[in-house]
Every structure is written in structure tokens, then in C-alpha cells.
């Protein structure tokens, strides 16, 4: 029936020009990804309200008198927005530098997002109101600079698109274009390099047989949690190894549900966007494929909803469950927002994915803890002899496809420059 759900990347920010360049080069069709929808729901403290009912939502929190008339957007502007506006040109540039040099940004790197909000004068109730209704609660412990960098680049304010045929078509298009085809089903168990021979190599296991491949240089894109399990000979430098061990990875779990009709469209008038909660499901996203046409025939047919999209410890709690139990918990709590889910036969099937439980990721993506940029980032991206490193973790565009692409181009340039130097 042509339906699909995204277990991985599901949206491309307007600002991510490099990702869009490749999407365009491969001729992949884009359509608008609806991010915010005032018709969607917010379920907090046992109450359900439309996201657009800002005054009603605010009444659910014990806000101070000076906060009571403020929307989540207002509170965002008072904290994150004000922090970005207060940066000078050199400080704004410093947010995207490998090595932080300005005192102001170095200080911000030591703060969590929650500490930044507290320093801006927001009450605990206002911080929760802002974070839960905007789906950013799990970002609060991470470095404030992660959020400030995206705010400066307007990542979340200028809109998103999605690849109409599914995000995996981008990876497939890359693979089809490559002259040397990727060899699948091969587990790298050892990485080697020799300065005397001027060679780097990888030992891998294919169908139980160990094999070896060599070249002038080796580009490693393994996520850091996976790389810690690989033997590297000779041993990496102390600074590099420490950075690989200590770099913070966040968690992400998704639970998808195929329904026999799009009740969120027909009954709730929700065409795309997300609902946010303080429940174990965190957030729910609705497909955007009928957001513009609002075709009643499509609404009456089957649909795929992202029943639960979680990060952080909320994601880990769901990931600890077997899929059947995970789906049951999600649908039971989601029924508090959408009671239609209690109707017999409404669900055709479910699927779920946890990046923590996937052996070749062992975590979803990098998000700096306070101080990580200063302490670890330069060592993460730095080459070691003939070994070079790429992946979203080796960029400052964490959690996005854009970061992986940026780091790949950077590492390629470094390898070509090293080859020219001989």
C-alpha cells in the first residue's frame, strides 16, 4: 500500500544545505514535514489540551505571576533566544569551532541547558512547561551549547522536509553511485597501521572467516561505543582513547503503529505534526503525507503513526522491554490521548527500534555533556597517523545526517592533503 514509517532519521531541516544537495543530486522527491501543529495534543499532569491552547496549558503549571501570560515560545525567547542574542560575532563563530577560544562560549560549554534556563530566571515550573510542551525535556541535562548552536543556525525555526519515498532511499542512492560497492555482513575486529610500511589495514570477520584489507589510509566511521570494542594496533594516543571512551551518546527508541484508518485526521483534525506528553511515550508524530491535500479518502485508509518517539532515559526504559511489551505500554498510554486505540482491530501491526540495543550503534547519536566540547571534541576529530575519523560524532552537527556528511567531506579532504604531502 506504499506506506512506510521511519525508524531512523525522519526530517531534513531547511538549513541543512549539504544533505539537501545530495537529495537533489540523486533526484529524490521532498515534501513538507509538519513539525508544529496547534491541533495536536499535549497531555501533561493528567490533563489533555490542544497545543494551540497556550493559556489552558499554562494553567496546568504553578507559574510565577510574571510567567503566567507567557507561551512556551516566549519562555524560549527569554532564555535560549536571549543567550544567543547576547553573543558577539566572534562568540557566535566560536560555537562552531573545533577549539573554543572565547571566554563566554567556554563558560556556556560548562552549563547544561537546564542551568542556562535557571540562570535566565525561569522557575522550575516554567522550565518544565517549556521543555515538556516542546518535546525538549530530555535535552535539559546536555550542554547548553548544543541547543545554542542550533538556535543560532535557525535549525528548528525555518521548517523541515522529508524524503517522500523514505529516508533509506538516500543511503541506497549513495550506494548505487559508488564505484566500489560496500561489502555488507563484515564485522571489523582489528584496525592496524604501520608508519614504516606506510599502510593502514582492517581485519574483519565474514561468515566466520577472518580476512584483511589494506590501503594507504583508513577512514573509520564507527560510532564510538562500537569502536571501543575494536582492537587498534598500535594503541591510539591517550587523548584519543579517552575521548572515544568518554564521549556522551544519547538514546533513542521509536515505536511505530500501522492503523486501519487515520483517526487522528478524521476525528481529531490533526494532519501532521507531533503531540507531546509527560507520559512514558514522550512524543507522538503523525504522517505529513496528507497534510496539504487533506484528502478524505486517504484519511479513511491505513496510516503509519510514530506512536512513541523518545530520547534519553525515557528511551532506555522502553528499550529494556521486549517489543511486545514495549508496544503494549506505548499503546496503552497513547490511548489516554487517542481513545480510538481501544477499538478492537484498529491496530494492524507494530514495529519498534532502539539504537541502544543495536550492536553496530550502541547508542543513537552524540550529544555533548557540559564540558565535552572543550575537553573531547578536538581529540575526536583529529587523525591518528594514517587513521582518519568521520561520522556525526566527528562533527558539531550532532544527531543529524548533515553531521555525518560534513565529517565525511572533512576527512576526505584531510586524507587527500596528507597524500599530497607524501
Quickly state the pLDDT bin for 250 (edges 50, 70, 90). Answer: very high
For residue 422, pLDDT over 80 is answered with no
Tens-digit pLDDT profile for residues 167-216 = 999 999 999 999 998 999 999 999 999 988 899 999 999 999 999 999 99
Sign of the C-alpha dihedral computed for residues 56, 62, 67 and 71 taken in this order: negative
Q: What pLDDT does residue 389 have? A: 99
Q: What pLDDT does residue 234 have? A: 97
Cell of 422: 607524501
Q: What pLDDT does residue 195 have? A: 82
- DSSP β-ladder status, 387-389 and 218-220: parallel
In terms of residues, how long is the chain? 422
Tens-digit pLDDT profile for residues 297-348 = 999 999 999 999 999 999 999 999 999 999 999 999 999 999 999 999 999 9
Q: Which helix (H) or strand (E) holds 312?
A: helix 312-319
pTM of the model: 0.95
Q: Please state the rounded mean pLDDT for residues 251-276.
A: 98
- DSSP β-ladder status, 41-44 and 273-277: parallel
Alpha-carbon distance of 418 to 412, in angstroms, equals: 10
Percentage of the chain beyond pLDDT 70 is 100
Contact 213, 316 (CB under 8 A): no
Q: What is the CATH number of domain 252-354?
A: 3.90.660.10
Q: What pLDDT does residue 189 have? A: 98
Question: Within 10 Å of residue 245's Cβ, how many Cβ atoms?
Answer: 12
Q: Please state the rounded mean pLDDT for residues 100-122.
A: 98
The yes-or-no answer to whether 41-158 and 252-354 have a common fold is no
DSSP state of 81: I
Tens-digit pLDDT profile for residues 34-79 = 999 999 999 999 999 999 999 999 999 999 999 999 999 999 999 9
Alpha-carbon distance of 34 to 164, in angstroms, equals: 13
Alpha-carbon distance of 166 to 223, in angstroms, equals: 23
Q: What pLDDT does residue 1 have? A: 74
Sign of the C-alpha dihedral computed for residues 162, 358, 147 and 56 taken in this order: positive
For 43-73, b/e burial (b = at least 16 CB within 10 A) is bbeeeebbbeebeebbebbebeeebeebebe
DSSP state of 281: T
| DSSP assignments along 133-179, one per residue | HTT-GGGTTSBHHHHHHHHHTTTTTS-EEEETT-THHHHHHHHHH-S
Contact 164, 31 (CB under 8 A): yes
Cell of 10: 525522519
Nearest Cα to Cα of residue 134 among 312, 330, 273: 273
The residue behind cell 514495549 is 326
φ, ψ at 384 (rounded to 5°): -130, 100
Q: Is 46 helix (H, G, I), strand (E, B) or coil?
A: coil
Contacts of 196 (CB under 8 A, 6+ apart): none
Q: Which helix (H) or strand (E) holds 326?
A: helix 323-334
Class level of CATH domain 183-249+362-421: alpha beta
Sign of the C-alpha dihedral computed for residues 96, 99, 104 and 109 taken in this order: positive
For residue 2, pLDDT over 90 is answered with no
41-158 classified as CATH 3.30.70.141: no
Alpha-carbon distance of 243 to 397, in angstroms, equals: 17
Q: Is 22 helix (H, G, I), strand (E, B) or coil?
A: helix
For residue 364, pLDDT over 90 is answered with yes
Alpha-carbon distance of 367 to 334, in angstroms, equals: 28
Residue 216: C-alpha distances to residues 28, 195, 236 (Å): 34, 10, 18
Residue 365: C-alpha distances to residues 155, 225, 247, 285 (Å): 17, 10, 10, 20
Cell of 398: 550532532
Cell of 23: 537529495
Mean pLDDT of the chain: 97
| DSSP assignments along 12-38, one per residue | EETT-HHHHHHHHHTT--EEEEP---T
Alpha-carbon distance of 204 to 230, in angstroms, equals: 10
Ranges of each domain in the chain: 41-158, 183-249+362-421, 252-354
For residue 239, pLDDT over 80 is answered with yes
Alpha-carbon distance of 119 to 114, in angstroms, equals: 9
Q: What pLDDT does residue 404 have? A: 98
Amino acid at each position: 500500500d506504499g506506506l512506510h514509517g521511519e525508524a531512523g532519521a525522519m526530517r531534513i531541516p531547511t538549513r541543512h544545505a549539504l544533505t539537501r544537495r545530495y537529495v537533489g543530486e540523486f533526484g529524490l522527491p521532498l515534501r513538507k514535514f509538519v513539525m508544529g501543529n496547534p491541533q495536536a495534543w499535549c497531555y501533561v499532569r493528567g490533563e489533555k489540551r490542544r497545543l494551540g491552547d497556550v493559556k489552558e496549558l499554562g494553567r496546568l503549571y504553578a507559574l510565577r505571576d510574571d510567567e503566567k501570560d507567557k507561551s512556551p515560545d516566549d519562555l524560549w525567547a527569554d532564555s535560549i533566544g536571549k543567550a544567543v542574542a547576547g553573543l558577539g560575532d566572534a562568540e557566535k563563530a566560536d560555537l562552531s569551532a573545533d577549539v573554543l577560544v572565547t571566554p563566554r562560549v567556554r563558560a556556556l560549554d560548562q552549563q547544561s541547558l537546564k542551568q542556562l534556563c535557571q540562570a535566565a530566571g525561569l522557575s522550575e515550573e516554567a522550565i518544565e512547561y517549556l521543555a515538556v510542551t516542546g518535546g525538549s525535556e530530555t535535552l535539559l541535562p546536555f550542554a547548553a551549547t548544543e541547543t545554542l548552536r542550533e538556535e543560532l543556525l535557525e535549525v528548528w525555526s525555518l521548517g523541515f522536509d522529508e524524503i517522500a519515498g523514505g529516508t533509506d532511499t538516500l543511503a541506497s542512492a549513495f550506494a548505487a553511485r559508488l564505484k566500489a560497492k560496500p561489502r555488507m555482513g563484515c564485522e571489523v575486529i582489528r584496525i592496524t597501521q604501520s608508519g614504516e610500511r606506510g599502510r593502514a589495514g582492517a581485519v574483519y570477520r565474514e561468515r566466520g572467516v577472518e580476512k584483511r584489507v589494506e590501503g594507504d589510509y583508513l577512514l573509520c566511521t564507527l560510532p564510538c561505543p562500537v569502536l571501543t570494542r575494536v582492537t587498534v594496533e598500535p594503541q591510539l594516543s591517550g587523548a584519543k582513547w579517552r575521548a572515544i571512551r568518554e564521549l556522551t551518546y544519547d538514546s533513542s527508541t521509536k515505536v511505530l503503529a500501522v492503523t486501519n484508518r487515520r483517526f487522528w485526521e478524521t476525528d481529531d483534525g490533526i494532519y501532521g505534526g507531533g503531540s507531546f506528553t509527560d507520559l512514558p511515550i514522550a512524543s507522538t508524530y503523525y504522517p505529513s503525507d496528507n497534510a496539504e491535500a487533506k484528502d478524505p479518502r486517504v484519511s479513511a485508509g491505513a496510516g503509519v503513526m510514530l506512536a512513541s518517539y523518545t530520547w534519553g532515559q525515557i528511551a532506555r526504559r522502553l528499550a529494556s522491554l521486549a517489543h511486545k511489551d514495549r508496544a503494549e505500554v506505548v499503546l496503552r498510554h497513547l490511548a489516554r490521548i487517542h481513545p480510538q486505540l481501544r477499538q478492537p482491530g484498529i491496530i494492524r501491526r507494530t514495529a519498534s527500534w532502539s539504537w541502544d540495543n543495536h550492536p553496530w550503534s550502541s547508542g543513537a547519536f552524540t550529544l555533548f555533556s557540559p564540558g565535552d566540547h572543550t575537553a573531547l571534541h578536538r581529540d575526536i576529530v583529529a587523525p591518528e597517523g594514517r587513521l582518519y575519523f568521520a561520522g556525526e560524532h566527528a562533527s558539531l552537527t550532532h544527531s543529524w545526517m548533515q553531521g555525518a556528511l560534513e565529517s565525511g567531506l572533512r576527512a576526505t579532504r584531510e586524507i587527500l592533503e596528507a597524500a599530497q604531502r607524501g
